[in-house]
Amino acid sequence: MDLILGQSVTWHSAFLLTSSGRHIAIVGFFDAENIRDLGVYEQVIGYHKGLSKHLKKILETLQPKNIAINFSERDVAADGLTLGNYHTLLRILEGTPYPEMFVSAEAIIATLRGRKIGTEVDRIRRAITATEGLFAEIDAFVRPGMTQRQIAKFLQLRIEEEGYDYAWDKTGDPIVTCGPQSKTGHASPGDIPLENGHTLHIDLGVKIDGYCSDLQRTRYVLDDGESIAPADVQRAFSTVLGAIQAGEATLRPGVPGWQVDAAARGFVVESGYPEYRHALGHLLGRSAHDGATVLAPQWERYDGICQLAVEEGNVFTLELHDLIPERGIVSLEEDVLVTNDGMVYLSNPQTEIRNISAA
């Protein structure tokens, strides 16, 4: 709905886009003027008592072969039709040949969202640059003893001051973990303080002009007498970095998503760390998880979307973490653009561990 309308409607509505380029809207009488004002639907029908007769009449005129409707098991961005509205649609069209013509619109939506045009890439890049600016501010701000909550609060204040939107739910944007006691995953920041000898990990994304960033960075807090991070931190960091680079070397048009994940996953396992329990990457754009294709293992949860092929113009995250039992999470996430024969970084990748000192 965001892609084909960009606003809300009050009553049952139908938006019909044909392969010959026709755009027809059937909406409640009260919404009709607003839809006309968009200037993208050449025919806008504002109904009074119900839409069924208008919808049937339009379908008779169009004589469709297939009717792609917005449901999908694999792509949440193509799965907007509710079960109740689907039942209503079937009821309205009972006794007509149209329900037999229903197919999923997922392939159209996945293509539309997945293949980014230049303007879209520029907007994503702008969100990434803003996020990198916030990471620079955090480096200047953060001191041992601060809690996850304090660090998260600083970032949220800055996001709101700048007038950015959150790239995902504010309760988990940013995710801030520090030390081995931190909850992993999408947990909200709590009261655990940042201690010497522990890692600080932040997952942060902003939305600017409707497009998102999604980055993770890791810092290490030097312990008494240390001037560089110890060997276990260095080794975990190298493994995460190496896995991302293994994914990078595999990512190009035509490769199924699971193969990119497998390259990174293999590197992690060969390095002696356990497998990460998520996907290496997801599409990024209008939302933090934008479109179908995932760079993910062939698990039940990713079935049907990890087999999809990478396409030129896709923007992916590349992300994974290691956990150091005594120190905390070491995690990176980069944002990259698929080109005609490989990929380029949209973010400035973190290639070495950065340290925070107590002073």
C-alpha distances in Å from residue 66, one per residue of 19, 24, 70, 102: 10, 16, 13, 6
Considering the rule CB under 8 A, would residue 39 count as an interface residue with its own copies? no
Residue closer to its own copies by CB (options 172, 253) is: 172
Considering the rule CB under 8 A, would residue 171 count as an interface residue with its own copies? yes
Q: How far is the CB of 177 from its own copies (least distance, A)?
A: 11
- The packing angle between helices 52-62 and 83-92, to 10°, is 70
Three-state SS string over 241-303 comes to HHHHHHHHHHCCCCCEHHHHHHHHHHHHHHCCCCCCCCCCEEECCCCCCCCCCEECCCCHHHC
Question: Two tokens at 263?
Answer: 């390259």
Residue closer to its own copies by CB (options 53, 143) is: 53
Three-state SS string over 158-203 comes to HHHHHCCEECCCHHHCCEEEECCCCCCCCCCCCCCECCCCCEEEEE
Task: Specify the stretch interacting with its own copies by CB under 8 A; choose among 120-128, 163-171, 251-259, 326-334.
Answer: 163-171
Residue closer to its own copies by CB (options 305, 346) is: 305
Residue closer to its own copies by CB (options 35, 221) is: 35
- x/- binding map, residues 218-257, to its own copies, per CB under 8 A? ----------------------------------------
- Residue among 100, 161, 191, 300 that touches its own copies (CB under 8 A): 300
Residue 144 region by backbone torsions, left for phi larger than 0, else alpha for psi between -120 and 50, else beta = beta
Task: Specify the stretch interacting with its own copies by CB under 8 A; choose among 70-78, 192-200, 255-263, 332-340.
Answer: 70-78
Closest CA to 106 of 66, 75, 67, 80: 75
Considering the rule CB under 8 A, would residue 57 count as an interface residue with its own copies? no
Amino acid at 136: A
Q: How far is the CB of 206 from its own copies (least distance, A)?
A: 17
> Which 75-94 residues touch its own copies, going by CB under 8 A?
75-76, 78-88, 91
Classified as helix, coil or strand, 321 is strand
- Residue among 13, 41, 52, 128 that touches its own copies (CB under 8 A): 52
- x/- binding map, residues 270-299, to its own copies, per CB under 8 A? -------xx----------x---------x
CB neighbours of residue 303 within 10 Å: 12
Strands 67-69, 102-104: parallel, antiparallel or unpaired by DSSP?
Answer: parallel
Contact residues for its own copies (CB under 8 A)? 7-8, 10-12, 28-34, 37, 48-52, 71-76, 78-88, 91, 104, 168-169, 171-172, 183-188, 277-278, 289, 299-301
